[in-house]
């Protein structure tokens, strides 16, 4: 294509030549140019017989429109683009079929060009004469239709009938459109068909298909399908609108009747309006309470505000909800405590086997309450492994006191508004959990259990643990401020009981406000008692079974505990007993047995081989058994030390040990090397010995300051060549000078040692006070040694 800027002169065809080419065609203005300027449009294609305004970009198409008006007597080719890819259009994007329009009344509107496009006739592009705007193309026109005239006329009559039916269904088509339709007759099938297609809501691609259809009859068939679809949609819309109108009219009628009924009842004094009813109800509720003076003052202010607000306003709803909470809160309503030590002991013994030290501590708490005739000012924290009964003890305390019990879990809580409430200004604002607890229990002195206090989170919404500081401080909680109520609340009469698995994640200031009680877990005899007295009867009752239908022997329960459920708590034991009952029910239904007895043999058939086999303590030179505490309870921990080679001095630690435990190992090695003669080790042993110390179960993280003397003993055993030939375990931290420091978790560690049959334990001298507080049945049958210096450990173990 040449870049010659000279304009292309279009070839003009006279009316006589036009009639020779296509008799009966629709060119009402007398010309059919062979060369056209082209402009693309989007949305819907322009059809012959359509007259409508078009808007095009002035920047892109001003030159095209000017040349078309000047050189083509205002005739322009319009081509439909279903989508425009990119910023520019190219000649390859133009469809082959378009519509000639006559441009009328061209004017500029907000940077665009607007004109009335009068559709004239279809055209086909033969070839392009320009590669860029203004686009110029050589075109040709559709030949004369050769369809059956009778069929065409019949379709034309059907199209006119369908259009009139559509106009009667859809009020969007105006009276002017009906008059416009009267201009078309069955003798003009082509413009009639195009007009019918143009008034439908068909997609641009469907209308382009109509534009490109050469046969008049085929075109009319396609338009009939579009019209029929449009009629069905219009019928559906009419039906929907009719149904909606009926429903709205019915609702209006009911509304007016209700309003009339209210007015009549009000005149007769039978019923009050909504606002008066709300005010009276709140006043009646508030009169039954014993609120402090500042609450009465706030209530009067809010009631006065409610009285002047319109019921339809948003402020009315906010004030009404606020008054609902204020009058639902138990101001000055207290339940009477049943403080009886004997009754409390009976309740605790009935609900819990074992835990004698915990029960004793709770009775002491009750006794203090009896003496001062008030149980308050103390926050109890139960700490222990999962499944040892922390939550159930809280329920028992509430029952023993005769108080209402409310529990909610703090696990995963990240929003401090859960504790202190939201401001009233927020949409959907609510009071905190503590206000909700007092509302639900309807008393101001319930027992509230805060479960999983060690699992509180923190986020951008605040730190709930810090919000609890005010709640759990006996010096502050008499004037706790909830953000929603914005009133001081007395929580000092509430008995708070918290539970946690570990103390590590509880913030120090929060922990300082609580009175700790440790639940260490159960030994085998206690678990058997719990299974016999509590778990087994509860599970039989839950499954609606008689005690005689499925029986289990005591040796079987012991085998179940020692072989399948050695953890500190009894939750897993309960799951296993439930599994036994389920499998037994299957056997009863399948084999038609009336009674089943579970013994050790049938237990292994139901549950498979035991998970835990009798532990054989590791023995040998450089191997020592230590005792450790975990969140799941106590555990035994074997420590191995070996000499890898004698080529160079070195030291390696494995077993996924934490920083504290690695420090303990380094300190233990340094102490032993500084006192070689005292422990019977040759002076040059460590000069060329590469020692490897390992704590088995390397995938399990281990940390804590209680393995110092155990690691030192393993090193001494390795270096002196002497092994420990008796069942012995130890726990304690060591210093560089050989002092043995006290450690925690003594009860859990002794229970773990008893579980595996250890008969001799070495403990730090500083742990004697903890040891003396332990129940005798835990200490029974075990020999204990208390040491201050590591030299004493050495003497006990090796001499």
Residues classed as catalytic: 706, 749
Q: In whole angstroms, how far apart are CA 773 and each of 420, 768, 779?
A: 39, 9, 11
**Strand partners for 691:** 643, 651
What would the two tokens of residue 335 be? 């339940």
**Most distant CA pair in the chain, distance:** 134
DSSP three-state, residue 733: strand
Pairing outcome for strands 112-128 and 97-109: antiparallel
- Distance from CA of residue 609 to its chain's centroid? 39
**Phi, psi angle pair for 420, to nearest 5°:** -105, 0
Q: Which residue, 549, 566, 557, 564, is CA-closest to 533?
A: 557
Q: In whole angstroms, how far apart are CA 431 and each of 293, 421, 645?
A: 21, 4, 69
**Side-chain-facing half-sphere of 232: CA atoms under 13 Å:** 6
Q: Residue 663 is inside which H or E element, if any? A: helix 659-674
Q: Which residue, 746, 748, 753, 688, is CA-closest to 727?
A: 753
DSSP state string for 363-403:
HHHHHHHHHHT---S-EEEEE--TTSSHHHHHHHHHHHHT-
**Residue 426 DSSP one-character state:** S
CB contact set of 173 (below 8 Å; sequence gap of 6+):
166, 167, 199
Percentage helix, strand, coil for the chain under 3-state DSSP, each rounded to 5: 45, 20, 35
**Residue 355 DSSP one-character state:** -
Q: Cα(362)–Cα(714) distance, rounded to whole angstroms?
A: 42
For 498-537, b where at least 16 C-beta lie within 10 A, e where not — what string? bbbbebeebeeebbebbeebbbbbbbbebbbebbeebbbe
Q: In whole angstroms, how far apart are CA 295 and each of 284, 302, 330, 488, 608?
A: 15, 11, 12, 8, 64
Q: Cα(740)–Cα(192) distance, rounded to whole angstroms?
A: 108
Compute the residue count for the chain. 799
Q: Which spans in 1-44 are helix H?
A: 15-21
**Phi, psi angle pair for 699, to nearest 5°:** -80, -15
Residue position matching structure tokens 């040449």? 2
Residue position matching structure tokens 């001494």? 716
**Phi, psi angle pair for 76, to nearest 5°:** -135, 145
Query: Do residues 568 and 527 make contact, with C-beta atoms less than 8 angstroms apart?
Result: no
Q: Within a 10 A sphere around the Cβ of 348, how many other Cβ atoms?
A: 22
Query: Do residues 690 and 648 make contact, with C-beta atoms less than 8 angstroms apart?
Result: yes
DSSP three-state, residue 282: helix
User: What is the CA angle 738-739-743, rounded to 5?
Assistant: 125
């Amino acid at each position: 294509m040449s870049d010659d800027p000279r304009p292309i002169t279009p070839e003009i065809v006279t009316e006589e030549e036009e009639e020779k080419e296509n008799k009966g065609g629709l060119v009402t203005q007398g010309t059919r140019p062979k060369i056209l300027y082209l402009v693309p449009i989007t949305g819907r294609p322009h059809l012959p017989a359509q007259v409508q305004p078009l808007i095009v970009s002035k920047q892109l198409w001003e030159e095209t429109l000017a040349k078309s008006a000047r050189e083509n007597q205002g005739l322009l080719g319009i081509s439909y683009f279903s989508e425009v890819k990119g910023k520019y259009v190219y000649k390859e994007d133009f469809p082959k079929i378009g519509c000639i329009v006559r441009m009328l009344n061209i004017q500029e509107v907000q940077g665009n060009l607007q004109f009335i496009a009068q559709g004239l006739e279809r055209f086909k592009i033969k070839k392009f004469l320009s590669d860029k705007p203004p686009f110029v193309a050589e075109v040709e026109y559709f030949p004369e239709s050769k369809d059956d005239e009778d069929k065409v006329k019949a379709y034309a009559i059907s199209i006119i009938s369908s259009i009139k039916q559509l106009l009667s269904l859809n009020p969007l088509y105006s009276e002017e459109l009906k008059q416009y339709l009267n201009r078309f007759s069955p003798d003009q099938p082509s413009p009639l068909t195009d007009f019918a297609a143009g008034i439908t809501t068909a997609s641009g691609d469907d209308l382009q298909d109509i534009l490109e259809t050469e046969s008049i009859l085929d075109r009319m068939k396609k338009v009939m399908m579009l019209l029929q679809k449009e009629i069905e949609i219009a019928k559906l819309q009419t039906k929907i609108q009719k149904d909606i109108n009926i429903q709205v009219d019915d609702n209006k009628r009911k509304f007016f009747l209700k309003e009339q009924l209210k007015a009549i009842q009000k005149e007769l004094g039978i019923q009050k309006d909504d606002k008066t009813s709300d005010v009276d109800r709140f006043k009646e509720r508030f009169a039954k309470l014993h609120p402090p003076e500042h609450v009465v003052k706030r209530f009067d202010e809010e009631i006065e505000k409610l009285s002047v607000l319109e019921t339809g306003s948003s402020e009315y709803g906010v004030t009404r909800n606020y008054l609902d909470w204020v009058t639902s809160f138990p101001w000055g309503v207290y339940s009477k405590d049943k403080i009886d030590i004997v009754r409390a002991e009976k309740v605790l013994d009935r609900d819990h086997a074992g835990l004698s030290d915990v029960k004793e501590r709770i009775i002491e708490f009750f006794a203090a309450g009896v003496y001062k005739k008030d149980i308050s000012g103390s926050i109890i924290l139960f700490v222990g492994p999962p499944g040892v009964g922390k939550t159930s003890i809280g329920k028992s305390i509430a029952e023993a006191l005769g108080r209402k019990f409310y529990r909610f879990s703090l696990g995963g809580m990240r929003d401090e508004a859960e504790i202190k409430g939201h401001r009233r200004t927020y949409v959907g604002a609510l009071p905190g959990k503590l206000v909700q607890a007092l509302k639900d229990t309807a008393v101001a002195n319930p027992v509230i259990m805060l479960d999983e206090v060690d699992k509180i989170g923190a986020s951008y919404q605040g730190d709930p643990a810090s919000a609890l500081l005010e709640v759990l401080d006996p010096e502050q909680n008499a004037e706790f401020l909830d953000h929603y109520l914005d009133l001081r609340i007395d929580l000092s009469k509430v008995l708070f009981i918290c539970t946690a698995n570990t103390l590590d994640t509880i913030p120090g200031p929060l922990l300082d406000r609580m009175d700790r009680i440790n639940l260490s877990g159960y030994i085998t005899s206690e678990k058997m008692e719990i299974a016999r007295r509590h778990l087994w009867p509860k599970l039989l009752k839950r499954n609606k079974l008689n005690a005689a239908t499925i029986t289990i022997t005591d040796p079987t329960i012991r085998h179940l505990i020692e072989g399948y459920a050695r953890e500190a708590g009894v939750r897993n034991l309960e799951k296993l007993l439930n599994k036994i009952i389920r499998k037994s029910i299957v056997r009863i239904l399948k084999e038609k047995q009336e009674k089943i007895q579970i013994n050790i043999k049938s237990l292994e058939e139901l549950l498979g081989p035991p998970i835990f086999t009798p532990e054989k303590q590791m023995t040998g030179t450089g191997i020592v058994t230590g005792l450790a505490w975990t969140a799941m309870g106590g555990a035994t921990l074997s420590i191995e030390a070996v000499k890898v080679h004698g080529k160079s001095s070195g030291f390696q630690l494995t077993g996924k040990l934490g920083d504290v435990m690695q420090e303990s190992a380094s300190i233990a090695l340094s102490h032993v090397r500084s006192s070689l003669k005292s422990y019977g080790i040759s002076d040059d042993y460590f000069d060329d010995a590469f020692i490897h110390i390992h704590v088995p179960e390397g995938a399990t993280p281990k940390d804590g300051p209680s393995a110092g003397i155990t690691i030192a003993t393993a090193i001494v055993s390795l270096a002196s060549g002497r092994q420990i030939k008796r069942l012995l375990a130890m726990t304690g931290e060591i210093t560089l000078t050989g002092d043995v420091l006290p450690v925690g978790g003594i009860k859990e560690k002794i229970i773990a040692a008893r579980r595996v049959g250890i008969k001799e334990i070495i403990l730090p001298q500083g742990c004697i006070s903890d040891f003396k507080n332990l129940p005798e049945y835990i200490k029974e049958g075990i020999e204990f040694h208390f040491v201050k210096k590591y030299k004493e450990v050495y003497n006990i173990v090796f001499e």
